[in-house]
Amino acid sequence: MRPSPIHISPPARQPCRFKQQDAPKRKALTKEQRDFLSSALRVNQSGELAATLIYSAQTPCSSRNTRTSDPMKHMYDQEEGHLKTFNAMLAKHRIRPSALYPLWQVMATGLGWGTAMMGREAAMACTEAVETEIGDHYNNQIRTLLEIISEWERDGYDVGDELKTFLSTLRRIRDEELEHLDHAVEHDAKKAEPHWLLTGAIRIGCRGAIWVSERV
């Protein structure tokens, strides 16, 4: 008796769970957008490094004053958190730090130490100036990122979690920088002598450092 042939039934057709048109449309970043993101991360890392060094150089002097030491520690801890965030993002995306990283280290330490030597009000005026510039700087980045995101959404592209997370991280850090600014003003930054010269010079220096770090 001949064995009966083996019949293999074709697999039952499973209904496709997603239609082709439901798959999220993704858009690649343009070169200009990639350059913007690399430069943004690089300059942010340098800025946060500078902030940690300014605060740590000021802390030995400010810590003698119990009125300012606890908030200074809190602000330093936040700056350290910001620096860790950008260090991790640079490592993840293989972006090089600013070539002038050692120069920023020296200048930030000098600025922190110098203003601390001038007194508590001068140290607070330094914070006021630096945080004003850094707050504007983060606002500019947030604005550019929102332009990219709204253009993609308008064209029906999926923005993805990475850009959205970057945007929310920038907003959180910007808000913390503005808290530092408020703290400095509440702690007599405006009483520094001469306030206009000190804050004006530091703000020009910050703008120059930001401009250079975005490029080098």
Binding-site positions for Fe cation read: 48, 79, 82, 131, 177, 180
The DSSP output letter for 8 is -
Candidates 37, 49, 51, 209; binder of Fe ion (CB under 5 A) is: 51
**Count of CB atoms situated within 10 Å of the CB of 62:** 23
- Give the HSE-up count for residue 191: Cα atoms under 13 Å, Cβ half-sphere: 7
Binding mask 55-84 for Fe ion (x = CB under 5 A): ------------------------x--x--
SS3 191: helix
- In the complex with Fe ion, the residue whose CB is nearer, 152 or 214, is 214
Distance CA 118, CA 136 (A): 26
Is residue 128 at the binding interface for Fe ion, with CB under 5 A as the rule? no
As measured in angstroms, the least distance from the Cβ of 28 to Fe ion is 31
Stretch that binds Fe ion, among 29-37, 173-181, 190-198, 206-214 (CB under 5 A): 173-181
- In the complex with Fe ion, the residue whose CB is nearer, 61 or 75, is 75
Q: Work out the angle at residue 52's Cα, subtended by the Cα atoms of residues 46 and 55, and round it to the nearest 5 degrees.
A: 135
Is residue 174 at the binding interface for Fe ion, with CB under 5 A as the rule? no
Distance CA 167, CA 141 (A): 9
Which amino acid does the sequence have at 171?
R
Which amino acid does the sequence have at 102?
P
Is residue 177 at the binding interface for Fe ion, with CB under 5 A as the rule? yes
Alpha helices by DSSP H, listed for the chain, are 31-62, 66-92, 101-118, 120-154, 161-186, 195-215
Stretch that binds Fe ion, among 9-17, 42-50, 56-64, 156-164 (CB under 5 A): 42-50
Candidates 42, 120, 174, 180; binder of Fe ion (CB under 5 A) is: 180
**Position of minimal CB gap to Fe ion:** 82
What residue ranges bind Fe ion (CB under 5 A)? 48, 51, 79, 82, 177, 180
